[in-house]
Homo-oligomer: A and B are copies of this chain.
Amino acid sequence: MSLPHAILTALLEKPSSGLELTRRFDRSIGYFWPSTHQQIYRELGKLEQAGHIRVLPAARPARGQKKEYEVLPAGREALREWVALAEDPRPVRDPLLLRMRAAAVVGAPGLAGELRRHLALHREQLAEYLEIERRDFPPERTADEDRLRRLVLRGGIDLETFWTGWLTRAIDELDGPGPEGGSPDAPTP
C-alpha cells in the first residue's frame, strides 16, 4: 500500500501530470520506491476514483493530452493517517546473498567478478547520493522541514556505504587467501 502514498507525497510537493511524476520519481522518491509510468497511471486513476486527487481544471482531458493532478483534502488526510501507522520493516529479500549461499553448495566460478560489478554499481549510487547532498543540503542551512528529507537521504548514503564496505571486504576475502571462489567443485589445482 505504499505506492499511492508515494504519489500523494510527490503531488503535494508539486501538482504534476503522470509523466512528470514518473520523471520526478526517477530522481527522488523513486530511490526508495521505484515505479514505472504504467503503474503510476493506474494508481492515479484509482486515487482519482477514491476522491483523493483531481485533475486540475486548466488541463482538458483528451488522449495524448496532458492532465495535471492535485491532491484534495481527503488525500492529504489519507496520507497523514498512513504516516501515523505502525508498520514493520519489510523482510530483506536479496538475490545476491542468496546466490552466495547457493555458491557455497554448487561452486562459484566468477562470483568474485559479480561482486565487483555490484560494488561498482553501489559506488555509483553512493556518488549520486553524495552529489545530491552537496547540492541540496549544504552544511550550514538546516531548514526545519528539510530535516526529514535530509535524514532520508542520509539513509540512502549509509545504506550504500554498507554495501560498498561489505562487498569490498567480501571480495578481499574471496580472492585473497585460499582457493578462488571457495568452490568445492573446482578447487585450485
Residues of chain B within 8 A of A184, CB atoms compared:
144-145
Residues of chain B within 8 A of A178, CB atoms compared:
144, 147
Contact A122 B9 (CB under 8 A): no
Residues of chain B within 8 A of A162, CB atoms compared:
158-159, 161-162
* A32-B92, A109-B84, A159-B92 as given contacts; A166 in contact with B154, CB under 8 Å: yes
> In this assembly, does A96 line the interface, its C-beta being within 8 Å of a C-beta of chain B?
yes
- The residues in A between 143 and 177 inclusive whose CB is less than 8 angstroms from any CB of B are 144-149, 151-152, 154-156, 158-159, 161-163, 165-166, 169-170, 173-174
Interface size class of A (residues with CB under 8 A): 35 or more
Which of A53-61, A75-83, A132-140 contacts its partner? A75-83
Contact B108 A182 (CB under 8 A): no
Closest chain-B Cβ to A73's Cβ sits at a distance in Å of 11
Closest chain-B Cβ to A188's Cβ sits at a distance in Å of 10
Residues of chain B within 8 A of A80, CB atoms compared:
106-107
Choose from B32, B117, B147 the contact partner of A182 (Cβ within 8 Å): B147
Contact A104 B145 (CB under 8 A): yes
Contact A93 B95 (CB under 8 A): no
Contact digits for A23-39, partner B, Cβ 8 Å, 1 yes 0 no: 00000010111100000
Docked complex Cα distance between A89 and B124 (Å): 13
> In this assembly, does A8 line the interface, its C-beta being within 8 Å of a C-beta of chain B?
yes
Contact B86 A90 (CB under 8 A): no
Contact A148 B182 (CB under 8 A): yes
Contact B92 A79 (CB under 8 A): no
19 A-B residue contacts at CB 8 Å? A2-B95, A12-B105, A12-B106, A13-B105, A29-B98, A32-B97, A33-B98, A34-B91, A83-B102, A83-B103, A87-B96, A88-B118, A100-B151, A100-B155, A104-B148, A144-B182, A151-B170, A155-B170, A162-B162
